[in-house]
Structure 1
Amino acid sequence: MSYEQKIINYFEKNYKKIGDDCAYINSTKQLISSDTLVENKHFDLKYFTPQNIAHRLFLSNYSDIQSSGGVPKYVLLNISFPNKNYKFVQQIITNFHRICLRNKVEIIGGDTTSSDKLFLSLTIISDKINNTRITKRSNAKVDDKIYTFSGIGYSKLGYLSLYSKLKLPNYLKNLSVKQFLKPKMYIYQDIFRHLNITSCMDLSDSLLSTLETISLKSKKKIKLNNLNSVNSKLYKFFKEEKYISLILSSGEEYVPVFTSPKNLLYLNKKKLLIERGIKIICIGSVEKGKGVNLKNFNLGKVKKFDHFKNNYSL
């Protein structure tokens, strides 16, 4: 178990409101979430532009609210930075402001201080939402189907291309590096509102970690199949074992992983999803039991991202 998970587990045991992508404030009927980006852990100044950093900070928080069923409304921004990086930080702020305006999210406060490295922390608050409309990690039901969006795997591949010098064809390298530096942002909360979604969680650490969490919180077994549909380009390029390991361990993809008793694949023909570049795929089902299972594959070999060790390997 990672240090990160040990800390999360401590608070989950002692505070009942912790354990989902967001906390829910009953008195104001709002979702709230917070995330932090740290220089040389989540980004570096060699490859990441101010626009990339602003985008990642916004998306990592926006994704939490979306996956819980809410509409992001307000943010509080905290920044710590060395004096020498002031101009760079000013560009981050300018880009962040533009992203907020474009997505109708209001900046209502925050804090600044000096530090040896660049730190950014964002707290995001939703518009009002009734607690009956919140989508949690813990409500997956037996016989539900498990869904996500296609294209998972590029983020980790981009990381490996930049930092481990993994050799790739230009078309794959370009796709992967772009997704790693500036992940796609999908808007889907308005679509999910009209669907029978029983559980949902955003994919930040890895697909496998996300599925393990849904399994644990819902007290159900997740049986995986049809993983070749997750990323057809990568499936054609890699041998099967490496392909499966890649898509299960790729983090910071910021797509929803969700369950529903309904067949939702018909939605892929809808104009709205096509316009937003969303393709829903079914990757398994929910059964009685516990854990995540993939036939003829040892999931224990999958190497996931560790925020404390900052390691990532294929």
Structure 2
Amino acid sequence: MKDEFSLIRSITPKKVYHKELIQGIGDDSAIYTPIQNEHQIVCMDTMVEGVHFTEQTMSPYQIGWKALAVNLSDIAAMGGIPDYYLVSIAFSSVWYDQINEIYQGLADLAGRFNIDLIGGDTVSSDKLTITVTAIGHTFKRKYFLRSQAWPGDVILVTGTLGDSAAGLRILLGQIRGKDDEMERTLIKSHQLPFPLIEAGQLMAQMPYHSSLNDISDGLASEAGEIAEASGVKLIIDYPSLPKSDQLIQLDPKLQKEYSLFGGEDYQLLITAPESAVLEYQQAFKKAGIRLTRIGYVEEGSPSVYLIDGQDKAILSKKGYNHFTD
């Protein structure tokens, strides 16, 4: 087994994207000059072997890609622009020869957004654990919070819902797709999510208030977080939820479970004033991002209601929770 310092040398980037970076990997700390007059955005997520992935569900490359993607999705939900990331990785000797593949996954996604790796840590552990910290900045000091939903707003969502959950169930052998192409498409949604930085940026360039939340734990959970933070009631129309051609081939009960509670879609849940909807739709369409109207915001105690035909009921804040699942 090679030593830690050989590993660090092998993963040190050969290219720097930001002229503001004074010192990256190679010293006790990184140093960079913040973008003048902009707010800084910082987030962190951890992925643990046996909790978020196994060798059965993800390759080393996919683990790296997804570890960064979930952080960039958080920055997208703030309307931010990502700049840098740091990686702390703990692993046993059986993973050593695959660590470079993990970092390749990280680097390939980082390269799509010109993000610099500026530091981290490597330690020994029984289970592979990867923690990524991402750093970004606002556009013209504008940012979005979960607490910015107002009564009268419209509820929108990007992309399609439930694909990642379906892909995971296929990988675990719990369900089967109708054909190999269907299974590959759903599995890719789980293994290689693409963060919607562009969507957040499109909104940040427009003069409207909006709340945003990325869908990591499921639509029901994220809608509940907006309702609680904003002190409002969200009404979601289930037949309006966007579903992929692959998901609609599954049993209707599974479609409902995965689209509402599945999680890891990393789409953006948005509330916005009615006056913003057309402009959002036009901008998103031009960018090739699907945007669907799925409900509205009302005054009332913080809650989420689901309308499905003639039925209207409280949508429980279910979804993935580390301390209950």
Q: Same fold (TM over 0.5)?
A: yes
Equivalent-residue separation in structure 2 for 1:180 and 1:94 (angstroms): 18
* Cα distance change on mapping 1:201 and 1:214 into 2, 3 Å: same
TM-score w.r.t. structure 1 length?
0.81
Equivalent position amino acid for 1:134 in 2: Y
Contact map agreement 2:218 2:318 (CA 8 A) in 1? no
The answer as to 2:315 corresponding to 1:304 is no
| Identical aligned residues as a percent | 27
Cα deviation, residue 209, structure 1: 0.2
Report the count of equivalent residues.
282
Equivalent position amino acid for 1:237 in 2: Q
CA displacement 1:61-107 (0-9 Å, x = unmatched)? 01111111110111111010102211111211133223223311111
SS at match of 2:186: helix
Kindly report which structure 2 residues correspond to 1:259-278, keeping only aligned pairs within 5 A, or say none. Answer: 259-261=271-273, 262-265=275-278, 267-269=280-282, 273-274=285-286, 276-278=287-289
Gaps of 5+ in 1: 1-26
Task: Give RMSD over aligned pairs.
Answer: 2.6
Equivalent-residue separation in structure 2 for 1:302 and 1:161 (angstroms): 25
Cα deviation, residue 245, structure 1: 2.6
Cα deviation, residue 47, structure 1: 3.0
The answer as to 2:268 corresponding to 1:256 is yes
Contact map agreement 1:30 1:129 (CA 8 A) in 2? no
- State the structure with more CA Rg: 2
Specify the alignment match of 1:220 in structure 2: 232
SS at match of 2:150: coil
TM-score w.r.t. structure 2 length?
0.79
Specify the alignment match of 1:83 in structure 2: 93
Equivalent-residue separation in structure 2 for 1:56 and 1:156 (angstroms): 15
Gaps of 5+ in 2: 1-36
Equivalent-residue separation in structure 1 for 2:139 and 2:282 (angstroms): 29
* Cα distance change on mapping 1:236 and 1:49 into 2, 3 Å: closer
Equivalent-residue separation in structure 1 for 2:285 and 2:175 (angstroms): 33
CA displacement 1:232-290 (0-9 Å, x = unmatched)? 536743555543332111211111111111352565455x645x541100110000112
Contact map agreement 1:211 1:292 (CA 8 A) in 2? yes
* Cα distance change on mapping 1:302 and 1:63 into 2, 3 Å: closer
Equivalent-residue separation in structure 1 for 2:315 and 2:203 (angstroms): 32
Equivalent-residue separation in structure 1 for 2:41 and 2:195 (angstroms): 20
Specify the alignment match of 1:284 in structure 2: 295
* Cα distance change on mapping 1:249 and 1:297 into 2, 3 Å: farther
* Cα distance change on mapping 1:191 and 1:282 into 2, 3 Å: same
